[in-house]
Structure 1
Amino acid sequence: MTLSPQWLDELRSRTTLSSLIAQSVKLTRAGREYKACCPFHNEKSPSFTVNDEKGFYHCFGCSAHGDAISWMTQQRGLSFIDAVKELADAAGMDVPAPDPRAAKRAEAAQSLRDVTEAAAHWFTDQLGGIDGTGAREYLRKRGISDEVRRRFALGFAPDSRGKLKSALSQFPEAMLVESGMLIDVDDKDTYDRFRGRLMIPIRDPRGRVIAFGGRILGAGEPKYLNSPDTPLFDKGRTLYNLDHASPASRKTERIIVVEGYMDVIALSQAGIDDVVAPLGTALTEQQIGMIWRMVPVPILCFDGDSAGQKAAMRAAMRVLPLLRPGFSLAFVALPEGQDPDDIVSAGGARALEAILDKAEPLVDHLWNYERGSAPLDTPEQRAGLKQRLGEIVSNIAHADVAAHYRENFRARYDTLFFGASRNEAAGGSRFVPGQRRKWQPDPRLLPPHGTTRTIGGSGLEGQLAEAVLAGLLRHPHKIAEHAEDLASLHLADGEAAALLESMIDAALSEQSLDREALLTILAGGRAYHRAKALLRADAMHFSFTRDAPQTSDGDDASEAPDPRAMRDLDEAIAAMIAWPEIDAALRAATERASRTLDEDSYAAQQHLRAMKAELTRRLGDLMQSDANG
């Protein structure tokens, strides 16, 4: 479908933002605006404002900002398209129709949702009836309250081959099979899939029932049975409790990943709602991407037994090719043989929070695992550790992240076997051209904490900022990759700063973003005209600011971006991040040198001047290489 800027503007104008936000936040009238305590961070006095005339909300505490669509994506956790559809439905607008085949699939999916919703209601009724006595007793022993039972819409499937089939007889039998409610075996009558199980509805991000997990109450296997994959449900692309956890994570800025349904339910009863679980499998790439849309570093809290720790290590290895600046995993070690349910049952939420506060970064988890996985007494065993660490680094696709892991492991290895890190013995730091690494200075060279990192609007700094913005507009997939570093910058040019902020917001709210989609999202804001001007600019001499050659049809000659342009863009971004750091450190070192007149301060000053000269030279090389290309 095509959503024009005019159509999106009409959607925003038909949506009363204060009414939308008031559905989940208590607003208080304040003149022509509304005020509230911010839903995106914890605060005691209100700094969050809603302006219906201008159509945006803004928090003066955490800088959260956006319109009605942003609210649905940031606070509700919906995708851009799902947010638009929900707002359009409320506003009485028709979303531009997709192609006929997609429309037919959407209609079929809606019919299947009617089946799953009806099944959920029936299971809930059975749990409250005579047949559900055993299931209610199981929940009582697990300490699950009636309020939590209702919150998660828990139910019960009687041990019968045909009760659900009979209860849902208003739906065609083929639809019951397609939704996963019935099993169809050749030459036999269809029969109920779930029998004699506690039923746990699985919902999509919008809270709609799409599948079920069933836990057996007596003897038998499997212990947990999930719905099969259907047009509604793909277990590798679904997370249990995402509809509740997404808004909760906006306040806590955290997501906890546990192993299963009952862990989620137990933690919710203890007051911990920012928790999700995969559906009986190791975390998939798609699930990791979904979690990263909410927080950059989720915490994995798996059981303390050997199976749980193996699952944690599988997740660690699975994430390596996906790592990018700012996005990773953290891990907590539960006492051996215990799961999150055991922890909160014995000590309440506070006991688990104390463990979560000690979560270890992915790099620590990998190092500790490999160091403890085999003896290290002989040269051969030590070489084996070095080889295993090298294999971990080789699985990291992002060059900058891989370089930092390589350096980290090398420093730990040297410290373990040689008593001191060769890295630390060398001292200092530098920007290495060609490696596209974020500058990591010696802390002794840094200015006081809190110094603003500002990119000027003129000179080489301004040219670099303009070129990077133009490159990101042409290659939007790079925005999310560098989002954390880009968000730390302050551009002195106000329009450029607004454009960068809008681009980061768009990239973090959309999993897949191309140039046209980005421009559509930007349309209507003050950054739009600056974006169009940057795309038309022809005076920038960088490989990544050129449009791809076009065919006679006007299409790009190649869908794949030029590898050299992508490398150059990575390096230009690294330079833009390093520039204000080096400038600030140089100013501090110069002031310190003039005040103390000692040799070390003078040496630091000269070191930083050399770094700045090298950075300037490398930017010239990037421009020159493009001219020669």
Structure 2
Amino acid sequence: MSSQEVNFAAVKQAVAMEVVLRHYQVDDLQGGHSGRYRGRCPLHQGEGRDAFHVDVRRKIFHCFSCGAGGDVLDLVALLNQCTLREAALQLQDWLPGAATGRERPSRQRVTKENTCDNPPLRFLLRGVDGSDAYLAAREIQAGTAARFGVGFYRGPGLMSGRVVIPIHDERGRLVAYAGRAVDGRKPRYRFPAGFGKSQVLFNFHRAAATRSDTVLVVEGFFDCLRVSQAGFESVVALMGTELYEHPVQLLRDRFRRVALLLDGDAAGRVGRDRVAARLRDLCEVCLIGLPEGRQPDQLPEGELRQLIEWAMKSY
């Protein structure tokens, strides 16, 4: 069977509704009698706490508020805002047995084994608004937002009402969206369940495509956007303060020098020293200090550019 062929019946049979609910973090459901649950609708994000009804045994759902309903495949398509075919192909990536119906994987298999490899997404979020006021407040220019595909997402699903940031692997394949809350909601950042952050350096595929033998390493998405906007296209983000084994290999194999520009707080300094220790035997390491308590994305663009240029010349 070609990887592009879809056996819809086999996919529906192989995929458990519980797996889909867990993957999209639809976990605030009540009930459970005879496999029936209810809770807040993950599609329209309404305030009603019991509008969304799901029967995990029959693999069907219905929202009595927004009117959405259907089977497990319909739910994935609505959450991803994609076609049924794209949803089925995505499920086949998660669950190889779903292509033929021969295998019914356990919940653990989906959340821990398949998704740790970050398979490419087969859908794009549509209607992402790069001109949102939140981005302007963070001094992200429209051109930068467009280049990175960042913007406010008003559609249905896990990332609804958040600024979404597309995440790619080292080959440039879209593997996830992160969602940044803009209204004080928790968590501040949301990642898809099962996303293997340890396997990815944000923006590595763009940095690797430059001619530079030096790469700047920052902590967060917006640090990365602001550094790139300041004129330094060879920049990646750890999405935290940890540098894992696969990203170490990516940096070692592509760049001669790594410049660490982590936050100017205690966690940033500890993380910077830990990352530097991992890299020193593999490549040249440059440490760039920030004022106490400051982050790269909090500095005026001219000051940020001057800081980086001065540090580079000093090494």
**1:210 counterpart = 2:175:** yes
1:312 paired to 2:269: no
What is the CA distance between 1:153 and its match in structure 2?
A: 0.7
Q: Is the 8 A contact 1:127 1:156 kept in 2?
A: yes
Residue 267 of structure 1: aligned partner: 227
Secondary structure in structure 2 of the residue aligned to 1:127: coil
Equivalent residue runs for 1:235-274 within 5 Å:
235-248=197-210, 251-274=211-234
How far apart are 1:298 and its partner, in Å?
0.9
Take 2:312 and 2:187, find their aligned partners in 1: how far apart are those partners? 31
Aligned counterpart, 2:261: 301
- Structure 2: how far apart are the matches of 1:210 and 1:310? 29
SS at match of 2:177: strand
Determine the structure 2 residue equivalent to 1:147.
Answer: 143
Deviation at residue 239 of structure 1 after TM alignment: 0.5
Q: What does residue 127 of structure 1 align with?
A: 129
Q: Secondary structure at the match of 1:357?
A: helix
Q: Is the 8 A contact 1:199 1:215 kept in 2?
A: yes
Which of 148, 157, 163 pairs up with 1:198?
A: 163
Amino acid paired to 1:154 = V
Change (3 A) 1:351 1:330: closer
Q: Report the counterpart of residue 285 of structure 2 in structure 1.
A: 329
8 Å Cα contact 1:202/1:240 also seen in 2: yes
Distance 1:355 1:329 in 2: 12
The alpha carbon displacement at 1:207 in A equals 2.0
What TM-score does the superposition give when structure 2 sets the normalisation length?
Answer: 0.58
1:114 offset after TM fit, Å?
5.0
Measured against aligned partners, the alpha-carbon deviations of 1:228-275 in whole angstroms (never above 9, x if no partner) come to 335xxx210100001110012xx2210110011001111111111000
Instruction: Supply the AA of the counterpart residue of 2:247.
Output: Q
Give the direction of change, closer, same or farther, for the CA distance of 1:281–1:354 in structure 2 (3 Å limit). closer
Distance 2:238 2:207 in 1: 13
Contact 2:256–2:284 at 8 Å: present in 1 too? Answer: yes
Taking the aligned partners of 1:141 and 1:216, their CA distance within structure 2 comes to: 14
Provide closer, same or farther for how the CA distance between residues 315 and 113 of structure 1 changes in structure 2, counting only shifts above 3 A: closer
Distance in 1 between the 2:296 and 2:304 partners? 10
Match of residue 239, structure 2, among 271, 275, 279: 279
**What secondary structure is seen at the aligned counterpart in 2 of 1:293?**
helix
Is the Cα contact below 8 Å between 2:204 and 2:236 reproduced in 1?
yes
User: Quick one: structure 1 residues 315 and 137, their matched pair in 2 at CA, closer, same or farther if it must change by over 3 Å?
Assistant: same
Find the aligned partners of 1:357 and 1:343 in 2 and give their Cα distance: 20
Q: How does 1:17-416 map to 2 (within 5 A)?
A: 113-115=120-122, 117-119=123-125, 122=126, 125-127=127-129, 136-158=132-154, 163-164=155-156, 192-230=157-195, 234-248=196-210, 251-317=211-277, 319=278, 324=281, 327-347=283-303, 349-358=305-314
Q: Distance in 1 between matches of 2:184 and 2:216?
A: 31
Deviations 1:286-329 (A, max 9, x none): 21111111113311111112221122123234x1xx764x5353
| Greater RCO structure (CA 8 Å; 6+ sep) | 2
The answer to whether the Cα contact below 8 Å between 2:166 and 2:178 also exists between their aligned partners in 1 is: yes
Correspondence for 1:173: none
Render the CA deviation track for 1:506-539: whole Å, top value 9, x for unaligned.
xxxxxxxxxxxxxxxxxxxxxxxxxxxxxxxxxx
Q: Distance in 2 between the 1:339 and 1:353 partners?
A: 17
SS of the residue 2:190 aligns to: strand
Matched AA of 1:299: A
Larger Rg: 1
Matched positions, count: 206
Does structure 1 retain, via aligned residues, the 8 Å contact 2:121–2:174?
Answer: no
In structure 2, relative to structure 1, the CA distance for the partners of 1:221 and 1:291 (3 Å cut) is same
The gaps in structure 2 that reach 5 residues or longer are 1-92, 100-113
Higher strand share: 2
AA at the equivalent of 1:305:
D
Equivalents in 1 of 2:174, 2:217: separation in Å? 21
Q: What amino acid is the match of 1:340?
A: P
| Cα distance in 1 between the residues matched to 2:252 and 2:268 | 22
After TM superposition, the structure 1 = structure 2 runs for residues 480-519 of structure 1, keeping only pairs within 5 Å, are none
Judge conservation of contact 1:156–1:196 (CA < 8 Å) in 2: yes
- Given that residues 170 and 204 in structure 2 are in contact (C-alpha distance below 8 angstroms), is that contact kept between their aligned partners in structure 1? yes
What TM-score do you get using the length of structure 1 for normalisation?
Answer: 0.30
Q: Secondary structure at the match of 1:298?
A: strand
Amino acid at match of 2:198: G
How many angstroms apart in 2 are the aligned matches of 1:304 and 1:246?
A: 26
Gaps of 5+ in 1: 1-100, 129-134, 165-191, 360-629
- Counterparts of 1:338 and 1:256, CA distance in 2: 17
SS in 2 for 1:350: helix
* Preserved CA contact (<8 Å) 1:267 1:340: yes
Distance 1:222 1:148, change over 3 A: same
- Cα deviations across residues 476-510 of structure 1 (Å, max 9, x unaligned)? xxxxxxxxxxxxxxxxxxxxxxxxxxxxxxxxxxx
Cα RMSD after superposing both structures: 3.1
Question: Aligned to 1:276, what secondary structure does the other structure show?
Answer: strand
C-alpha deviation, 1:206, in angstroms: 2.6
Deviation digits for residues 568-617 of structure 1 (CA, Å, limit 9, x no counterpart)? xxxxxxxxxxxxxxxxxxxxxxxxxxxxxxxxxxxxxxxxxxxxxxxxxx
Shift of 1:281: 4.8
